[in-house]
Each structure stands twice: as structure tokens, then as C-alpha cells.
Amino acid sequence: MPPPQIARVALDVPLRRFFDYRVPEGGVLSTDDIGCRVRVPFGRHRKIGIIVDLAADSVIPLAQLKTFEVVLRDLPPLPADWLRLTEFCADYYHAPLGQVMLSAVPAGLRSLTPPLERRHRPSAAHPVVQPAPDLTAEQSAALAAIAACGDGFHAFLLHGVTGSGKTEVYLRLVDATLAAGRQILLLVPEINLTPQLEARVAARFPAAGLVSLHSELGEAARSRNWRAALTGSARIVLGTRLAVFTPLPELGLIIVDEEHDASYKQQDGVRYSARDLAVFRAHQRRIAIVLGSATPSFESWANCAGGGRYRLLSLHERAIDGARLPVVRRIDTRVDKPHDGLSSALLLAIEQRLARSEQSLLFLNRRGYAPVLACLACGWISRCHRCAANLVLHLFDRCLRCHHCGFQAAVPKSCPTCGNQDVSAFGRGTQRLEAVLAERFPQARILRVDRDSANSRRQWEALVAKIHGGEADILVGTQMLAKGHDFPRLTLVGVVAPDAALFAADWRAPERLFAQLMQVAGRAGRAERPGEVLIQTQFPDHPLYATLACHDYPTFAMTQLGERQRAGFPPYTHQAVLRAEAPKMADALNFLVVARASPAVLAHPEVTLYDPVPMRLSRRASLERGQLLVESASRRILQRFLALWVSQLDSVRLPARLRWHLEVDPGEF
């Protein structure tokens, strides 16, 4: 009698190990079953796992092994390159492999009771292929450079000014990849960018089996689209961050649009960078990857300028005939003092656009009515009792809201401390700016676009339709409007309050501010009408604004990279952050002190560990938060240290409710 087979199964649990199960009597598995989903008993429950290996024996006695229930063969097995991708992600970010694998699978396919899928009915109408526009000389040169590199892994950084036609370059590459019989993965940073790009791709390639993958999809739709990618019936996958894990057996091209965007970094659970995983995946599959942006991340720029790991392709001119980059003017608010947040120069510019039936966009990256409500009599401030932050006044919703934990409270009629009825709103958000504009321009149609007015894809599409339909004269928006959108009638962008980021504690703040302002400036003058950008600032001579006025990203990037190199900041060093949260700050910091004294530290003198400190947002959702920064000049040495360190931290006994996580290549501190 042959020995019983053992299936090694990955499960979605916070343990860094696999689980062995006996194959049911009479059942036989082969290597073709590796990558299949399987239903198994786990404790008192049942779970869906993934078979990662077959074995003849186990460290656990055979008599103690449970038998799995059934192998789910409704899908082809997950391919070997997908298993390797998730394995790399788990290794690099030091996360349990089972959690990485199962979190990458749609919820409907890892559920014991999968949602009912409606049969997808293709449209009866014959699709009309949208013709491709003529290419500019720069677009043709970029495509020729990519084609000349031939097959194999190549990483290209497509740096194009806003409106230069990066999307058309993407579409031509998609066309060539489809013609070669391969699949395409196209990543975008946010759901809001998906509908516009999805419509454009669908119009160009109506028969290509385009599917989208993002968090706004229902479980059944997400499962259906993921299945179509795995089986090969979908040739183009357009998605946000998590779509980087989509199994694509015939993958031939990866495109990462707006590659600089912080949204590509997962901020909870498994903290991975979708952009960096996309580069690994292209290298693994030996295919081309194109990273596109008007303001590339400094890491990507350094990869072009330094070792030449990426090849730089540049588009310096706008693609539409007659369209020019907008003129950028700096308004010195020490001279032209704003009234209700708006300078006289900006008000005049808005009036001129209204007279010409053109659209204006006022950019203020702070939603709500005012950042804080306060009493001048006793000093009371609307603080969140769960976070180290203020409650933001949302006047239209008649509430105070925490933008960190979601806590809400009614707006007090008088000061809760002294009873003073004259409580005041300080600062301004998009709601307050909207109210000021409505009072100043009563005849104008004003549209506010932020997370409060567009918190779903349907709401967002309705707002965009209004803008394109000419139903709005003045737009008031946050960074939701800053990138990827093409509004032909928009000729004025006013930036209301950008200075705070110039001197922020986060050393990445200047990079993010420059990218944000250049992206939002790019919304102006994208068609034949000239565009203008007005920046209200108390520091008009600051080098950041000077390079922005010249649309000179390369100079800004090289200056900032020089400063980082001298200071020993990434990308010239490599970092990780260990964070801990607990009901008491002392418990969080004590754990970090124990972690800093780990034997792994003594074994790696090339790694620097700084002192444990509270995080900038030291309390969130009633938990105190601390962090410990780890740094090394060598990525390889840092990774070796982290692997040993994490294994030692796993054995530390923790106080009740203390939780910790490690973030590699942290996006913020």
C-alpha cells in the first residue's frame, strides 16, 4: 500500500508557515494540483487555502494530521510565476506567505460560500474601433526606442509633461503586444482614474477582452474578471494597486501610469509597493515595463541617472497642436493679502474666465469646512478623543469628523468647557472655499470635488460628466482633480494654500508638493486655449516654486537628489520601520526597546537602529503608536538582518492588545 500523500497548504493566518494535510483515502494529487485552491478544516472552522507543495512526510505525526476536504478545480491552478511573485513579496516585505497569497485572491474565490455570478452577456452591438491619432515626433521616437530594445526585460521611464500624450504611447504598446498574442497589465494609482482610461482603452480595443480590477467592484464581478485574466480570455487588465497580483499566463507588457503616486504603496496589512512588485514581475517574466509620469519618483529618476537600470524616454511638448504648457505666476500674499483665502489677483483671473465661459479650478488639498473649531474665551479646541488630531468641521453635514479614525460628533452650540456661544472655525477647507466663492460669484456654477462629494465611482463619474458637459464654471477640488484628467475648457488653476508642505517634518514633503502642484497645473490649457496657474504663497522666491514656474522637473529632481545623497537619505540608503501600537505608549515603546536590544542587532553592525520614538500621529483610534527606524547602506545586508530580526521578534511575549508590524521602504514617518 503506497504511503499517504501530504498536501502542503498556505492559509490566510498571521503565521509564517504552511500547514500539512493528508490527502483523502483513495484520492491522488499530482504536481498539476499545485496552485489549486483547497477547502480544509482549521481549528473549529473551515478555510480556503492554496496547495503550494506535495510531500511524502511531515514533521507532524501522520496520525495527527487532518485530512483536507476537497480540491477546488473550477479554475486552472495558479501558475508558478504567480506563486513566485507572492513568495518574493512575502520575503521582501517580511509578511506571512499565506496572508500574501490569499489576500491577492478575490474574496469571492476564497470564500466558503462564493457569491453567485451572473452570466456575462456580451454586447450585441458591433464595436466601432476608435482610430488612433497621429503621433508626434517625440511619441514616435519613444516607441522606436522601446521597439529597438527587443525582447527580454527592459524598464523604461516615460517622463512626459502633462498633456504630452503618454497615454497614446501606452495604447500603441498595447496594440503591438496584442498583435503578438500576449496579455497586458495596466496599473493606475486610484479608482478615479480608471473610468476615463478604461473608456479610452475599450474604444481603441473593443474586442480585446478588457477587464478592470479595483475595490469598487462587487465580489462577483471581481471574481469574474480575475477568472478571465487567469484563463486568458481577458487580454488587457486595468487595475489599481492589488491588480499587480493578477495571474496572467501570457503576460507580455506591464504599464504603470503615474508611477510616482503614493497610492501604489499599501498602508495596512501586507505593506507592499505595487510599482516595485511590477518591476520585479517584469524582470521575472523577462518582459518590458513602462513607468510613466510627469513627475517621476526620485527613486525611478535615480535609476535612470545613476546606474542606468531604467532607460529614460522624454516627451517635452504637449501632443495637441496649439496646446502649450500653462504660464505659472506666483502671487506674493504678503503684498496681495488674501481675503477669505483668495487674493485680488486670483479673484480677477476667475472673473475673466467667467466672462469668457471658461472653467477655473481652485486647488486646496484639505477637505471639510475648517480644520478646527475653537473657543477664544477658554482655549478649547475640537480635538478627537481617540487620536492625536483635531476634529475637522464639516458644516454642510453639521458634524465634527476625524479624518484619521472616522469618529463623528455633533457641532456644539456653545463651548463644551466654558459655555461661550461664540466658537469659531479656524483655517479653511474645500467646503469653506466653496461657500466663499458662492458668495463672491453668485452667478457662477460651483462644483466641489473631494472625498465627501465623490466617495464612490458612480458619484465621481457623475461629477466628471458635469464638468465635461459644461455644467460647472468653477471647480473646487483636492488632489482627486490633480492628475490624469482632461478638461478642454479649463484654463485657470489657482493654488490656494501650498506653503505648509515647504517646511514639513517629512523629508519627502517637497517631492510630493512639487508633484502635486505640477500635476494640478497640468490641468490648465490642455486644448487650444492657453492656460494659467496662479500660486498664492508667502515664499515666492522659494526654489521649489521657481523650478515649478519653469516646468523644470529635472533640475528640481537632481537638486533634491543631491541633498538626499549628502544627507544619507533614500534612495542612497535603505530603510525599514518597526511600528508598535498599544493602549499605553509605555508598552509600545518598551516593546521597541526590547526589539532594539535583539541579538540580531549585534550580529549586523552595518545596520543602524535609531531610538524608539512616538509617531507623528502618536495616537490613532485610541491606540498609542511608536516607531523604530532601521537603516543600512546595503539593501542586501538590511534584508538579511530583517529576516533574522523578525524571526526573533515573533518569539517576544507581547502585552495585551499590543500589535506590531514592519514596513520596508517606508513611504512616510
Average pLDDT, the chain: 92
What is the structure's pLDDT at 211?
A: 95
423 falls within a domain? no
Q: Answer with the one of 563, 582, 616 that is the final residue of a domain.
A: 563
Dist CA 101 CA 8 (whole Å):
14
Distance of CA 126 to the CA centre of its chain: 36
DSSP-derived letter for residue 78 is P
Query: Does the structure show a pLDDT above 60 at 349?
Result: yes
Same domain, 294 and 155: yes
Query: Does the structure show a pLDDT above 60 at 1?
Result: no
Same domain, 76 and 193: no
Same domain, 43 and 170: no
Going by pLDDT thresholds of 50, 70 and 90, the confidence category of residue 485 is confident
Dist CA 89 CA 96 (whole Å):
10
Looking at residue 37, its amino acid is: R
Query: Does the structure show a pLDDT above 50 at 157?
Result: yes
CATH of the domain at 36: 3.40.1440.60
119 falls within a domain? no
Same domain, 547 and 586: no
Going by pLDDT thresholds of 50, 70 and 90, the confidence category of residue 127 is low
27 falls within a domain? yes
Same domain, 20 and 61: yes
Dist CA 589 CA 591 (whole Å):
5
Looking at residue 225, its amino acid is: N
Looking at residue 60, its amino acid is: I
- The percentage of the chain sitting over the pLDDT mark of 70, rounded to a whole number, equals 96
Distance of CA 409 to the CA centre of its chain: 30
Query: Does the structure show a pLDDT above 80 at 322?
Result: no
Same domain, 151 and 278: yes
297-302 mean pLDDT: 95
Going by pLDDT thresholds of 50, 70 and 90, the confidence category of residue 3 is low
Task: Note the pLDDT tens digit of each residue in 497-517.
Answer: 999 888 888 889 999 999 999
Going by pLDDT thresholds of 50, 70 and 90, the confidence category of residue 117 is low
Query: Does the structure show a pLDDT above 50 at 149?
Result: yes
451 falls within a domain? yes
**Contact between 202 and 210 (Cβ < 8 Å):** yes
Query: Does the structure show a pLDDT above 70 at 393?
Result: yes
Same domain, 154 and 266: yes
Q: Which residue has the higher pLDDT, 76 or 28?
A: 76
Total number of domains in the chain:
4
664 beta partners: 576
386 falls within a domain? no
Dist CA 597 CA 546 (whole Å):
47
CATH of the domain at 606: 3.30.70.360
Q: Each residue of 7-36: b (16+ CB within 10 Å) or e?
A: bbbbbbbeeeebbbbbbeeeeebeeebbbb
Q: Each residue of 102-138: b (16+ CB within 10 Å) or e?
A: bbbbbebbbeeebbeeeeeeeeeeeeeeeeeeebbeb
What is the structure's pLDDT at 82?
A: 97
Dist CA 508 CA 40 (whole Å):
46
Dist CA 327 CA 550 (whole Å):
9
Query: Does the structure show a pLDDT above 50 at 481?
Result: yes
Handedness of CA 117, 119, 125, 129 (dihedral sign): positive
What is the structure's pLDDT at 468?
A: 86
Dist CA 560 CA 544 (whole Å):
10
The 3 state secondary structure assigned to 176-203 is HHHHCCCEEEEECCCHHHHHHHHHHHHH
Greatest mean pLDDT among 50-54, 215-219, 486-490: 50-54
**Contact between 481 and 351 (Cβ < 8 Å):** no
Dist CA 566 CA 545 (whole Å):
22
Same domain, 277 and 364: no
Task: Note the pLDDT tens digit of each residue in 326-344.
Answer: 999 999 999 999 999 999 9
Query: Does the structure show a pLDDT above 90 at 452?
Result: no
What is the structure's pLDDT at 382?
A: 95
What is the structure's pLDDT at 124?
A: 43
Same domain, 23 and 76: yes
Task: Note the pLDDT tens digit of each residue in 185-207.
Answer: 999 998 877 778 888 999 999 99
347-368 mean pLDDT: 95
Dist CA 224 CA 74 (whole Å):
12
Same domain, 248 and 331: no
What is the structure's pLDDT at 28?
A: 84
What is the structure's pLDDT at 116?
A: 65
Task: Note the pLDDT tens digit of each residue in 269-297.
Answer: 899 999 999 999 999 999 999 999 999 99
428-446 mean pLDDT: 95
121 falls within a domain? no
CATH of the domain at 310: 3.40.50.300
Dist CA 303 CA 260 (whole Å):
13
What is the structure's pLDDT at 180?
A: 96
Which structural domain range is residue 590 located in?
Answer: 574-664
**Contact between 378 and 418 (Cβ < 8 Å):** yes
**Contact between 595 and 649 (Cβ < 8 Å):** yes
pTM of the model: 0.93
Same domain, 509 and 535: yes
Dist CA 334 CA 95 (whole Å):
50
79-104 mean pLDDT: 97
Question: Which among 484, 516, 480 has a CA at the least distance from the CA of 498?
Answer: 516
Same domain, 104 and 152: no
What is the structure's pLDDT at 306?
A: 65
Q: Answer with the one of 524, 543, 563 that is the final residue of a domain.
A: 563
222 falls within a domain? yes
First-to-last CA distance in the chain?
A: 60
According to DSSP, the β-strands at 45-55 and 70-72 are unpaired
Angle (CA) 482 483 484, round 5°: 145
374 falls within a domain? no
Task: Note the pLDDT tens digit of each residue in 623-668.
Answer: 999 999 999 999 999 999 999 999 999 999 999 899 999 999 997 6
Dist CA 95 CA 106 (whole Å):
19
Query: Does the structure show a pLDDT above 50 at 379?
Result: yes
Q: How long is the chain?
A: 669
Angle (CA) 663 664 666, round 5°: 75
Question: Which among 290, 287, 76, 289 has a CA at the least distance from the CA of 182?
Answer: 287
The 3 state secondary structure assigned to 224-254 is HHHHHHHHCCCCEEEECHHHHHCCCCCEEEE
Query: Does the structure show a pLDDT above 60 at 72?
Result: yes
6-20, 154-168, 298-312, 600-614 — which is least confidently predicted?
A: 298-312
Greatest mean pLDDT among 186-195, 423-432, 449-458: 423-432
Q: Answer with the one of 315, 340, 361 that is the final residue of a domain.
A: 315
What is the structure's pLDDT at 121?
A: 53
